[in-house]
Every structure is written in C-alpha cells, then in structure tokens.
Structure 1
C-alpha cells in the first residue's frame, strides 16, 4: 500500500537504506549520516558548499547527460530550519483530512495497530532521516549543517540530479498530483528518485574514495528508531522509489541509456507494476481504470434500521480508539461517509498480502497478475468504525484465482477469530466467502477476472444488495 508516501519524499534524501542494500545487503544501517562537530564559521561552511555544489553539479551533468541550464543556489541549513521546511512541506502536500484518511486505511487494512497516529509519526520519521534536499519550488539545494561536507557528496550528486531534472523536465508538475491514484504517483516518484539514485551510483563508482567516506559515515551514524518502529508497509513504501526505482532505472538505462530515462519524463511509468516489471513499461501496458459506487447511503440505511441496537465493534478496539487524541477531522461523524478512494496497485497488494502471509515469494506471485484496482474507505459514526470496499481486475482468470486464494489466507490470518459463515443467508462456495470477525463481516467474491472484497460490514447490511450495487 503506497498511500501518500511519495508526496512526503519530494524533498528528502532517504538514501542510506539503498546504499546499505547495495554495499552491505542490510537494511539496519542508519538513514542519516554521521554527525560531525559544526564548522566554526558559518560563512566558511556556506562557501565550501557553494564550491562543492559547482563541482558536483558539473560532474553530475556529464554523468546524467543533461546540460546545466543555470546555476543552482545552495547553502547550509540548521536542524531547526530543515525541520520547519519538512513540516511546512507536509502540510502543503497533505491536508489534515487526507492524513486522517491514510491513518484509518492503515489501521483497517491491518497494516498498523489501532493506536497508530499517522501525522505525528510521519513527521518524526522524516525529521530523523533527512540529510539534504532540493526544493523544486525555489530551485535551491540545501545540505544539513551538522554533517561533514566531504562525506555528503553522493547526497549532493543525488539532489543535484533533481536540480537537472527540474531544469529540463519541470519537477514542479509532480508537486500537486491528482488525488485518487497513489500507485501511479508512486510510479512517477520512482522515475524521479530511481533516475537520481542511478546517477548517484555512477558518481560513486567514478569517485571511489568519496564513496568509501560516505559508506563509512553511514555505518557510524545515529538513530533509526522511528524508521525501525514504522509499520512495514510505510517503511517499504518509503524505500520503494529509491530501491525498486533504481532497479527500474537501471533496466531502462541498459536498454536505451540516459536518453531513455529522459524520455520517460514524457512517457511516465503509469503503475508500480511497470516499475516492478520494466518489460511492461517498455510495452506500455496500461492499467485498467476502475471505479466503485458510493456506498454511503446504503450503509446509512442499514445503520438507521438498527437504531437502538449496539454497533458491532469489539470492546478492545472501542477502548483503543476511544483513548486516542483526535483532531476535528477525525472526530466521529454523524453517519457513514466515504473519506478516501485510491489504488493499491501491484506493490500495494504485495504489501497487503505479505503483512500476514510472511512469504514474499508467494505474495509476489499472487500480486503479479494485477491489471487494475480501486478501494474506498468509509468511516462510521462510532469511534474506530471503518469499512473498506475494493475491486480488482487481473490479467487472467488463473491470476484472479491465485489472488483470491492468497487473500483468503490473509483474511484468516488478519482476523484470528474469524468464523466462516455457511448458513442459508451466507452461501459459501469456492468463489464466494463470508466471515464474521471482531471488526465486522468480511465478504469476498471471485467473478471471472474480478475480485471484490468488503471488510468491516455490520450484520444489518444486506450483502446481496450491496454486491449488486458494487457490480453495477
């Protein structure tokens, strides 16, 4: 599930996990480079960064085969200045309502605990990781003033590649991505970061002593506490544009050189499927655009018919949600309402499956036949009430069957006390299953190439009617 991560990384330099994977085959290395004593003269530090920027930009321009159209302003920023920039960027890119919807989706999908609060966590996580950034709005590059300059030249090469991308392809157009397709957004972000990471790798290969100093600084770095505590889906989506993005960029480079990567800024990758399988990008296999009807009125009708009856919500969940501090946007609503609509994509479904299957090979196979999807998130009038409806399409019936079977396993692991219903009101077959769980009913249906899943339903909802609406 790639929800909204790419918006938050437009300016950050989360590189060390990638370097760690490339050089040490380990993900435990710090994301922020080793801290050094501050240089005594701020003016001297600024001058050194300006000089280094000119040199690294010239070399990166030759590597990336993109001429410098105009100089890049650069300088040092304090921790407080960078923190202010990150928080400002976060609030510019995501509204409070969007952050709340993401939080609800992570919880309901079982990707984060019921106590997970997205906004404070992502701020702390990003503050822990940043070393430097290029801002496509101001077209300026800044390096953290608490880091040793000589060890940060690979970071500079990466961020200055962004400056070159911006000069030639206008990165500002990616700042306001249309809502509703985080999968396509993550794919585009993987082009941007994968291209820059590949250029950085070439820079390091051409400057082995600089590369050695950089990797040594990472091995003696500081805290990764927030990164290690992050939900797996959040953590791996954070890395995706850099790791899988650089693998995709390498495939494009091997086929068409950096010219191919430059052309990709016109012919954007459209899905994480195209990133994970470059051959599908080369064939430009477009994902299906899927829609779901708004179920709010149907859910509210069932709710009103049940007035005076207790809402189905496990007591432990009610206690956990009630204990949370909430902003105005996350207070219980007067009725069921759709708060989000988005796309999981192949990468998102891999994360959803493997969170519980814990078998990467099986999860990759089950997600690999993806052709398109959409999911909607609904929030109810009671604390913690949420429903997710999703529909997906697959390349072949065998792919749909494989995904359906894998998701059945996921449901049974996601809800340990789930009871498969087999009475006359809940017919069960190899293509239709209904469970009662401590978070409501879960219904899955397989029809040809399509799989429809709804999680969190009240028993009062007419499932047959609901699925007729979903099929319409």
Structure 2
C-alpha cells in the first residue's frame, strides 16, 4: 500500500517541521528568534478562489533579498552537519500561494502516481483503513493547502521560498529543504528514488522483487526525510549549543508529538489513523532511523553511507537494528496470478509491509498489541481484482502474510478476524459442521486452520497454516481454493 506514500512525496509538506519548532520551544525554551517564533498556519485563502487572499501579508523586497542571502549560510550549515559536499549553488525563487496551489493541482491531475490514487483509496477502504464514505483526493487537497511549506524541487534544482511567511520563520524549514538539495547534488534524488520503485502496471506476473519495490521505495523516502529532519533539529538547536546527537530525548518526544498535530492543523487532526501514520512515517521513523545510525556509526554512516547501502523495507526503518545487523528476509514466493485469477481483472497489487500491519493492528487491537506483534512480521502482499465484465461488483482481495512463527500468525489472524465486525455491516461466522451462519457477532478467539464469514460483499476466508495467514475477501470459492493450495504449498517449500 505504498502508492499513497509515493504520491504524497511529490508535494511540499510543512506539518512535521512546524511541530518540531513547537516541541523545541517547549523543551528548551530557546530565546533565539529562529526557534522562539512558531511557524503560523498559512492564512485562509479567499472563499471564491484557490489563490491568494487580498488581505494576506507579503514579505517586503528587502526581506526577500535577506531570505535569499540566508540560503548560502544555511546550505553551508547543512553541508557541515551532514558531511555532504556543496557541488554548486542552489537556485532559489520566491513563490506565491497561487503558484503553490497551482503546483499541487497540476500534479494531483497529471502525476502518474496520482492516477493510481483512486485505486489505492478503494484498497485502503477494503482493508478498513479508510471509512467507506471518505474522499481521499478532497482530503489531500485540503491537507496540502493547510500544511504547505517551502520546498526543494529536484526537477528544477531550485528551493522555493514563500512570500507570505516571515523570513525568520522559514529558515529552519530551509535547513530541511537544503539538505534535500545536498542529497540531490551528490546522489541524484529522482534517480535514487526511482531505483527503489517498480511499475507493476504492465507486468502480467510480477516477481517477488517487483512486489518488494513498494517497501524499498518507502524505506528510501524515510532516509531522505530522516536526514533532513536531523539537520532541521540541529539548526534549530544550534543557538543553545546542543544538537540531536546530545539530545536523544528529542526523538521520542517528536515522534509522539507528530501524530497529535497542532491547533491549526484541522485536516490532519480529523484524519483516519492510517493517513496520520502514512503522512508522517518518513519523518517520524526516518528521524528515529537516522538517530540510531548516528549513535552507532557516526555521521559518515548516517548520511553518505546509507545512500550507498540503503535499507530495503519499512521493517528496517522501524527497527534500525535489523538494518545494522544486515538482516535479509527471503521474499515470499507468489502464486500464478494470471492463471489463478483468470476470471478477474486485476485492480491493484503491492506489498503489505511492517508499517502497514502495525497500523492495521493498532486500529483494531490497540497500540500495545501493535508494538508487541508487528516486529514478528516477515512478509506480505495483496492482490485486488474485480470479476471480468462486472465493474460494479465488490472489490475482491487476496492478502497473504508471513510471521516469525505459527503462534504469531494465529495472533494476527485473530486480530484480522475481529476487524471484520467493524469493517462490514454484516459478518457472520460459518460453522464448520453444517456450513450455516452462526448467530454470534464475535470473531473466533483462536484461529487455526480455515474459517469463513459471510458478509454483504461475499465470503471472507481466513486460513492459518504454520507461519502463513491467507485472507480471501469477496472471492468465489473455486478461486479461493485454488489460491489456498498454491500459496500454502509454496510456504511449505520455503520453510523446507
């Protein structure tokens, strides 16, 4: 389910950087102007246009020139902080709200990842991670307008500064964005990110490596944002003589605070759990990942070193020790999708990583259960499809996950089963003895073997064998049985 995160990476996003300034003020009481001034929310746009408000205050030409001059100073700070060299000056331009809104709207309409946004929305709804009546595009437009910030564009090689926010308040954000400029100069951000992406659209039978590319992309995104967060914090703390390296308590405080939001971030505060987590994942966990690398390997390992040896999954980002130890998890072998789903049109396909299961468990069983169970994830993928010739049919879903052992697989299956009562209007368990619906509205307490529920969108089958959990939703019985046989045969072969 990384398409949403791929899409969101395209846009300027201010929420994490704004929150960091607030936490820094609360934690250290900095009197320096660059820290003490909280970044304000963007002024409301005119109700009749998507552009600038006639009453919006603009920075003066003199302030703009001073802001432009500060770019070189902050770029040098970022270079010293990261060890990444300055190969050339960074272009800079002053951007109006009209231009930023136009940038957002253009990419919302034309970006190839945005074209998959609708499919991602329906898959997220099938998993219950978004409400059925939720409009993802409307939400994203509102959130991006609410949280818009200065940003570095790797295509134009320019940092875009905002003409309606006080220059001093933009400087910490500049430290973050100019880190991206340094990353781009040394490693080519667009090329490096594309190396972690695979277009599954034209692949009739994706390989395990193709599926894993979802996770690779998310991990690389966390690296570039985590590094930029380190520099932002170091720049903001510099007047106090401190840095992230000698203030490790800041990491946990910031991670916790980012999910709360600020008083003015109404769109974010009203977002479903999954969107809050997905929007902040690269910043929160990327910061944690980089802090751990700084602690264990120093600046060289945390910055240039990780570009040469990047993490490959959200698991390695969320649990940095798995990256540092060089853990390699064998990819899951896939069924023959083209053959098994010959009566279906493919709708979407992708990885379900450790991050995804962490949020799913959190939503349905609570954060404590999530923290206890998600580290036992060892792989996962989904395949969504619709019956051929029936575009109005319920979206069918195959979801296969692998766990560290059979006990953890059963625990996850139990969580997933209990989620059915919240995701469907009607979900009744079928008794194995007579295949009639059970009047009980609760899911099984223990899940081993195969279990079936009947819902308004068709049957749901959860089958647990060994360390593998298979979920089939809204699939016909013949297809379900065929896929079950193939998936579990491959799982047994992998274990042997």
Classify the secondary structure of the residue corresponding to 2:474. strand
The structure-2 alpha-carbon separation of the partners of 1:166 and 1:397, relative to structure 1 and needing over 3 Å to count, comes to same
Superposed displacement of residue 24, structure 1:
5.7
Listed as ranges, the gaps of 5+ residues in structure 2 are 28-37, 44-55, 200-210, 244-253, 437-443, 490-496
Matched with 1:266 is 308
Tell me the equivalent position of 1:80: 98
- Partner secondary structure for residue 116 of structure 2: helix
2:222 is the alignment partner of 1:190: yes
Q: Distance in 2 between matches of 1:121 and 1:283?
A: 39
**Counterpart among 388, 391, 394 of residue 400 in structure 2:** 391
* Conserved? CA contact 1:340–1:377, under 8 Å: yes
Q: Which residue of 2 aligns with 1:103?
A: 121
- Alignment check: 8 A CA contact 2:2 2:350 kept: no
> C-alpha distance in 1, partners of 2:25/2:434?
57
Instruction: Look up the match of 2:332.
Output: 290
User: Which of 153, 166, 170 is equivalent to 2:188?
Assistant: 170
Q: RCO (CA 8 Å, sep 6+): is it higher in 1 or 2?
A: 1
1:444 maps to which residue? 462
Residues 56 and 232 (structure 1 numbering): CA distance in 2 closer, same or farther, change over 3 Å? same
CA distance, structure 2, for counterparts of residue 419 and residue 154 of structure 1: 54
Offset, 1:189:
0.6
RMSD: 3.2
State how far apart, in whole Å, the 1-side matches of 2:271 and 2:425 are: 23
1:12 maps onto 2:19 in alignment: no
Alignment match of 1:407 (pick from 401, 416, 420) = 416
- In structure 2, distance between residues paired with 1:95 and 1:205: 37
TM-aligned CA distance change 1:171 to 1:352, over 3 Å:
same
2:265 pairs with one of 215, 219, 224: 224
> Can you list the C-alpha shifts for 1:274-297, whole angstroms capped at 9, x where unaligned?
111111010122343235446577
What is the CA-CA distance between 1:109 and the residue it aligns to? 0.8
Range that drifts further, 199-208 or 223-232: 223-232
**Contact (CA 8 Å) 1:34, 1:147: kept in 2 or not?**
no
Q: Check if 1:127 corresponds to 2:134.
A: no
**Cα separation, 2, equivalents of 1:247 and 1:187:** 13
* Displacement after TM superposition at 1:221 (Å): 7.9
Deviates more, 1:172-181 or 1:150-159: 172-181
Answer whether contact 1:378 1:388 (CA < 8 A) is retained.
Answer: yes
What residue number does 2:323 align with?
281
In structure 2, the residue matched to 1:33 is: 40
Matches within 5 A, 1:59-458: 59-91=77-109, 93-95=111-113, 97-176=115-194, 177-179=197-199, 180=211, 181-208=213-240, 223-261=264-302, 262-293=304-335, 301=343, 336-357=344-365, 359-380=366-387, 381-383=390-392, 385-415=394-424, 417-424=426-433, 430-458=448-476
Go from structure 1 to structure 2 and tell me whether the alpha carbon gap of 1:296 and 1:443 turns closer, same or farther (over 3 Å shift).
farther
Aligned residue for 1:286, secondary structure, equals: coil
Question: How far apart, CA to CA, are the structure 2 residues paired with 1:126 and 1:94?
Answer: 18
- The unaligned stretches of length 5 or more in structure 1 are 26-30, 302-335
Q: CA deviation at 1:424?
A: 4.8
C-alpha deviation, 1:242, in angstroms: 0.6
For residues 35-66 of structure 1, what are the alpha-carbon distances to aligned partners after superposition, in whole Å with 9 as ceiling and x for unaligned? 5853464x434312211111111122111222
In structure 2, what is the Cα distance between the partners aligned to 1:23 and 1:2? 34
Q: Distance in 2 between matches of 1:237 and 1:18?
A: 18
* Gap change, CA 1:260 and 1:220, over 3 Å in 2: closer
Using the TM superposition, give the Cα deviation of residue 222 of structure 1 relative to its aligned residue in structure 2, in angstroms.
Answer: 7.8
Change (3 A) 1:142 1:253: same
Number of residue pairs matched?
A: 425
Which of 166-175 and 138-147 deviates more?
Answer: 166-175
CA distance in 2, matches of 1:241, 1:220: 16
User: Contact (CA 8 Å) 2:5, 2:278: kept in 1 or not?
Assistant: yes
Q: Is the 8 A contact 2:41 2:147 kept in 1?
A: no
Distance 1:187 1:153 in 2: 27
TM-score normalised to structure 2 length: 0.77
Cα separation, 2, equivalents of 1:205 and 1:184:
32
